[in-house]
């Protein structure tokens, strides 16, 4: 990560999609170095730099290493976010942020973002896009997965068939989605913020799990995309898809956690490494 270029954007405008989702549109000179990819789960690493850091005085071209000589408390925080839309022609990059008041780093930044505010990011990366060879598509996730789900639905052909399940706090968190007629979109309500809702509505008990497992399984080859809270996805839905339903890895290679309750992104990354090591050991 350290040697990757850091692209410099600026905020063009913001929009409150719901009470908990803020859309930030970036522009400026970022597209001079940023090249969009074709994945519908394209994501970037946003580098949150303190306002009092003079980036122009750092070693150029800008990378994470450029910040190494700063005092530890002045070094940036890095968070991962899905790209909602990248329009190279208009030179606009859209990112949707889930906001929970003053909680976290990215949400408060997005809430306070105003036109002209600088923004730094690395990427993009990605691995998933709907495969036209699939007979049907199973797509599921929570608010964190909404940008990728939205982009995937827009990329589906008009004759696509599928089922979509999206877990949010309640009806007030639904947003308009564009989906082919043959793709059913189902909103699942957990009844509260994802990070604060009681244990009987989260993790192993998240309503998303039952919604997916109880859905009618369509005939033919399915392609699966499921992302969201890690306990829900990694310990419940992924085993259901891979083992109980027997979906081959080729068609289910985009099932993983975007975040985990009670963990920052740094400790979540450590948890994911430990989980991957444990899985490798079990398969050895």
pLDDT tens, residue by residue, 50-61: 999 999 999 999
* DSSP string computed for 196-262: TS-GGGSGGG-HHHHHHHHSPPPSS-EEEEEEEEHHHIIIIIHHIIIIIS---GGGS-EEEEEE-TT
pLDDT of residue 271: 47
pLDDT of residue 15: 97
Mean pLDDT of 36-63: 95
Q: What is the pTM of this model?
A: 0.89
* CB-CB contact of 20 with 100 (8 Å): yes
pLDDT at residue 89 is higher than 80: yes
pLDDT of residue 268: 47
Phi-psi region of 190 (alpha: psi -120 to 50; beta: other; left: phi over 0): alpha
pLDDT at residue 101 is higher than 90: no
pLDDT band per the 50, 70, 90 thresholds, residue 211: very high
pLDDT at residue 1 is higher than 50: no
Q: Is 5 exposed, middle or buried (0-12, 13-18, 19+ CB in 10 A)?
A: middle
β-strands 136-142, 222-229 pairing: parallel
- Mean pLDDT rounded to a whole number for the chain: 91
pLDDT at residue 244 is higher than 80: yes
Question: Regarding predicted confidence, which is higher, 101 or 30?
Answer: 30
pLDDT tens, residue by residue, 117-162: 999 999 999 999 999 999 999 999 999 999 999 999 999 999 999 9
* CB-CB contact of 227 with 198 (8 Å): no
pLDDT band per the 50, 70, 90 thresholds, residue 247: very high
Phi, psi of 167 (to 5 degrees): -95, 125
pLDDT of residue 278: 60
* DSSP string computed for 45-62: EEEE--TT--GGGS-SS-
The two counts, helices (H) then strands (E), for the chain are 6, 11
Mean pLDDT of 226-250: 96
pLDDT of residue 279: 56
Q: CA–CA separation, 148 vs 145, rounded Å? A: 6
pLDDT tens, residue by residue, 257-271: 988 876 555 544 554
């Amino acid at each position: 990560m350290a040697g990757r270029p850091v692209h410099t954007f600026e905020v063009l405008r913001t929009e409150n999609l719901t009470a908990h989702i803020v859309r930030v549109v970036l522009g400026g000179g970022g597209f001079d170095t940023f090249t969009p990819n074709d994945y519908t789960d394209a994501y970037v690493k946003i580098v949150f730099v303190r306002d009092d850091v003079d980036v122009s005085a750092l070693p150029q071209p800008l990378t994470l290493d450029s910040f190494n000589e700063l005092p530890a408390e002045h070094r940036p925080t890095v968070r991962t976010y899905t790209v909602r839309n990248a329009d190279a022609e208009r030179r606009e990059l859209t990112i949707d942020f889930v906001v929970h008041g003053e909680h976290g780093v990215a949400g408060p930044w997005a809430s306070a973002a105003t036109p002209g505010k600088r923004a730094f990011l690395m990427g993009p990366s990605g691995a998933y896009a709907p495969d036209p060879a699939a007979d049907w598509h199973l797509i599921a996730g929570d608010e964190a997965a909404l940008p990728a789900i939205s982009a995937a639905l827009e990329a589906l052909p008009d004759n696509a068939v599928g089922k979509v399940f999206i877990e949010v706090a309640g009806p007030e968190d639904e947003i308009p989605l564009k989906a082919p007629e043959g793709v059913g979109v189902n909103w699942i309500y957990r009844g509260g913020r994802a990070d604060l809702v009681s244990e009987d509505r989260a993790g192993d008990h998240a309503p998303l799990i039952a919604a997916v497992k109880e859905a009618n399984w369509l005939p033919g080859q399915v392609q699966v995309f499921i992302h969201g809270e890690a306990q829900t996805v990694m310990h419940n839905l992924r085993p259901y898809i891979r083992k109980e339903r027997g979906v081959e890895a080729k068609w289910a290679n985009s099932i993983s956690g975007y975040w985990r309750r009670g963990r920052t992104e740094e400790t979540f990354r450590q948890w994911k490494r430990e989980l991957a090591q444990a899985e490798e050991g079990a398969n050895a």
